Amino acid sequence: MKLTIKSLPIFALMAVMFSGCNNSKSPNGNRGALASTAAEKVYVPPGEHDEFYAFFSGGYSGNLTVYGLPSGRMFKEIPVFSQFPTNGYGYSEETKPMLNTSHGFIPWDDLHHPDISQTDGKLDGRWIFVNGNNTPRIARIDLKTFETDEIIEVPNSAGNHSSSFVTENTEYVVAGTRFSVPVPQKDISIKEYRGNFKGALSFIEVAPETGRMNLKFQIMMPGFDYDLSHPGRGKSHGWFFFTTYNTEEANTLLEVNASQNDKDFIAAVNWKKIEEYINNGGGTKMPAEYAHNVYDHSTHSAKSTIKKEVLMVDPTKVPGAVFLLPTPKSPHGCDVDPTGKYIIGNGKLSADLTIHSFGKMIAAIEAEKFDGDAYGIPILKFEDVLAGQVKSGGLGPLHTEFDGKGNAYTTFFISSELVKWNVETREVIDRQPNYYSVGHVMIPGGNSAAPFGKYAVAMNKITKDRYLPTGPELEHSAQLFDISGEKMELLLDFPTHGEPHYAAGIPAEILAPESQKIYRLEDNKHEFAALGGDETRVERHGNEVHVYMSMIRSHFTPDNIEGIRVGDKVYFHITNHEQDFDVPHGFAMIGANNAELLIMPGQTRTLVWEPGQVGVWPFYCTDFCSALHQEMQGYVRVSPA
């Protein structure tokens, strides 16, 4: 038997990994004249703006970070799936419902892939979608306010990895399950995986004006692992492509290492066909509980609704809707080039890239040239859909992006490098080492019909860096390349927060953030807002006490609160009365079992406090707001129950 990477036992594979990527030993190797031109290229003088925004997934931080390119400066962390004490997201009563799921309140997730909304295949800069991998969810962040406005849970799924990519007019944001599971969930032996576990692919409709998400349908696929996905575009608009692995349907992947299929599949889904089918009454409604959480900017509050039903489509009932394209060696990345002609499967245990031709795929489907089926889903012949392969010379290809000038950039995890090649000739043009073991690469607009091919950012998977030491636990590292010339030029290393799986970049001029946004008091529809000075008060209902409080430089009203008893549940509803957009105030209560609140002008936020001890307890403003910030404080008197 020929010894392939795929047939190596896992420890041997690891040996290959760790011997193969020892390329950037000398951190000071690039010093000199080259370094100074690189420095000029990334230097953004104080007071000037970066050319691009870059939104990095924060991986197991659960959040999204915002950087500028080319400077590599981090501007902000946007809380999405994780509680964020910095501004009270997920701690305040108003934002807690954002983290509700069918499993209850889940204040953490693993965020993988951001994707910016598109119109006609071009970035439109309205929203950015991200996926929660662990408790499957998709979130929508508004790119005017840079706030998470909506989170929808994805039922019948586990390990929501192949998301959250959008179709060319943001008709759908798509999710796919990494783990196949019993659908619906039930108590069954894990050994009975094969044939009993299913992989749901989810199509979440996006309302064109508001961006509001709605889980339109799911496709019940065979029990493979669905890894990544990409939309068709141009000619292939109307299709979506998903890489799969474990097509053996093994319940333990140790077994797979021993007897592995030489090829897994890319699943090609004609979602327009399925849309037609369900518009004609197709599909079966089945019970499925999932949360849908929406933030409302007029009440400054989120609401969570539990949905009960999903429309499930059996792909074998829709002729022409789903096909399987054999693809070698456990493909990971599934990338469609800007023209929509090519679908690239990166076999992560291979040296070569497989490029499928959309045109050949359609021809083979029309000629009905199939090579059997999997649970009734036709399998196409590898040779019939193959456009060609790239003999890369690298090892462990993961992801590919495009520069819009006919070139592709593929990351190689094992050989730890970025390889540039020509999409049509499939010839390798350049290769650059990465520090260390690169995962995704991002070119602004790289997942669209019109990329901005000036910079590429390589995101490294292994936590090795070459900065000042910070103890055993390290952040990850990104590397910025100038890709405007024939050869790539490394410009900058910069740290990222949490493991960055992917990022989405966009020219700053396309975004129109409401940087001077002020929530006006007269628009504040919060149920417990204290709008005028005379609306501040303390109300008791049994053991519940509601404090209607206002704040303005530099005091709270009321600031002396008496009549609270041990065992009460105290709600501080605090409204910021400032007129300047950039004067938030904070609120922190001693012994409160949550976080501070950061309250923007015009906004109301609520913190719950359940005092357990008799005494007089202070609160204060946490955000330095004026020369009298330190005077912005108050007391609560707590008497015996």
C-beta closer to ligand CUA: residue 56 or 556: 556
C-beta closer to ligand CUA: residue 523 or 631: 631
Binder of residue 439, out of ligand CUA, ligand CUK, none (CB less than 5 to 8 A by kind): ligand CUK
**Which alpha helices (DSSP H) does 453-570 contain, by range?**
none
Give the Cα-Cα-Cα angle 458, 463, 469 (nearest 5 degrees).
110
Q: How far is the CB of 42 from ligand CUK (least distance, A)?
A: 25
Binder of residue 232, out of ligand CUK, ligand CUA, none (CB less than 5 to 8 A by kind): none
Q: How far is the CB of 585 from ligand CUA (least distance, A)?
A: 4
Strands 181-182 and 455-460: unpaired
Side chain identity at 85, as an amino acid letter? P
Contact between 112 and ligand CUK by CB under 6 A: the answer reads: yes
Question: Total residues at the site for ligand CUA (CB under 6 A)?
Answer: 8
Residue found under tokens 């070139």 = 407
Interacting residue with ligand CUA among 310, 318, 336, 621 (CB under 6 A): 621
List beta partners, residue 507. Answer: 52
Binder of residue 420, out of ligand CUK, ligand CUA, none (CB less than 5 to 8 A by kind): none
C-beta closer to ligand CUA: residue 140 or 585: 585
In this structure, are residues 344 and 387 in contact, taking their beta carbons and an 8 Å threshold?
A: no
C-beta closer to ligand CUK: residue 318 or 395: 395
CA atoms within 13 A on the CB side of 641: 11
Structure tokens belonging to residue 518: 């002020």
Phi, psi of 270 (to 5 degrees): -90, 90
Neighbours of 239 (CB within 10 A): 24
Binder of residue 625, out of ligand CUA, ligand CUK, none (CB less than 5 to 8 A by kind): ligand CUA
Cα 131 from Cα 475, distance rounded (Å) = 21
Q: What is the DSSP letter of 292?
A: E
Subset of 85-104 contacting ligand CUA (CB under 6 A): none
Q: How far is the CB of 502 from ligand CUK (least distance, A)?
A: 5
Question: Total residues at the site for ligand CUK (CB under 6 A)?
Answer: 11
Q: How far is the CB of 627 from ligand CUA (least distance, A)?
A: 10
Interacting residue with ligand CUA among 585, 599, 605, 619 (CB under 6 A): 585
C-beta closer to ligand CUK: residue 112 or 454: 112
Contact between 175 and ligand CUA by CB under 6 A: the answer reads: no
Residue found under tokens 């489509």 = 313
Interacting residue with ligand CUK among 439, 586, 602, 634 (CB under 6 A): 439
C-alpha distances out from residue 304 to 151, 296, 349, Å? 9, 11, 42
In this structure, are residues 511 and 450 in contact, taking their beta carbons and an 8 Å threshold?
A: no
C-beta closer to ligand CUA: residue 488 or 598: 598
C-beta closer to ligand CUK: residue 263 or 332: 332
| Edge-to-edge strands, sheet with 633-639 | 560-565, 633-639, 615-620, 585-589, 597-599
Cα 530 from Cα 305, distance rounded (Å) = 27
Residue 37's H or E segment, with its range, is helix 33-42
Contact between 629 and ligand CUA by CB under 6 A: the answer reads: yes
Q: Which span sits near ligand CUA by CB under 6 A: 296-304, 560-568, 599-607, 625-633?
A: 625-633
Rg (C-alpha) for the chain, rounded Å, is 26
Strands 585-589 and 52-57: unpaired
Interacting residue with ligand CUK among 96, 113, 233, 577 (CB under 6 A): 113
C-beta closer to ligand CUK: residue 399 or 585: 399
Contact between 310 and ligand CUA by CB under 6 A: the answer reads: no
In this structure, are residues 118 and 166 in contact, taking their beta carbons and an 8 Å threshold?
A: yes
In this structure, are residues 166 and 117 in contact, taking their beta carbons and an 8 Å threshold?
A: yes
Interacting residue with ligand CUK among 250, 266, 398, 547 (CB under 6 A): 398
Contact between 230 and ligand CUK by CB under 6 A: the answer reads: no
Interacting residue with ligand CUA among 625, 634, 636, 638 (CB under 6 A): 625
Cα 419 from Cα 407, distance rounded (Å) = 10
Cα 51 from Cα 120, distance rounded (Å) = 23
User: Counting Cβ atoms within 10 Å, is residue 383 exposed (0-12), middle (13-18) or buried (19+)?
Assistant: exposed
Interacting residue with ligand CUA among 450, 623, 633, 637 (CB under 6 A): 623
Q: How far is the CB of 399 from ligand CUK (least distance, A)?
A: 6
Residue 433's H or E segment, with its range, is strand 428-433
Contact between 113 and ligand CUA by CB under 6 A: the answer reads: no
In this structure, are residues 576 and 599 in contact, taking their beta carbons and an 8 Å threshold?
A: yes
Binder of residue 624, out of ligand CUA, ligand CUK, none (CB less than 5 to 8 A by kind): ligand CUA
Binder of residue 440, out of ligand CUA, ligand CUK, none (CB less than 5 to 8 A by kind): ligand CUK
Contact between 440 and ligand CUK by CB under 6 A: the answer reads: yes
Side chain identity at 626, as an amino acid letter? S
Contact between 476 and ligand CUK by CB under 6 A: the answer reads: no
Q: How far is the CB of 260 from ligand CUK (least distance, A)?
A: 20
Interacting residue with ligand CUK among 409, 502, 571, 572 (CB under 6 A): 502
Q: How far is the CB of 83 from ligand CUA (least distance, A)?
A: 22
Q: Using DSSP, how many helices (H) and how many strands (E) does the chain show?
A: 6, 45
Give the Cα-Cα-Cα angle 293, 165, 402 (nearest 5 degrees).
150
Q: How far is the CB of 557 from ligand CUA (least distance, A)?
A: 13
Q: Interface with ligand CUA by CB under 6 A: which residues?
A: 554, 585, 621, 623-625, 629, 632
Q: Interface with ligand CUK by CB under 6 A: which residues?
A: 112-113, 161, 228, 332, 398-399, 439-440, 501-502
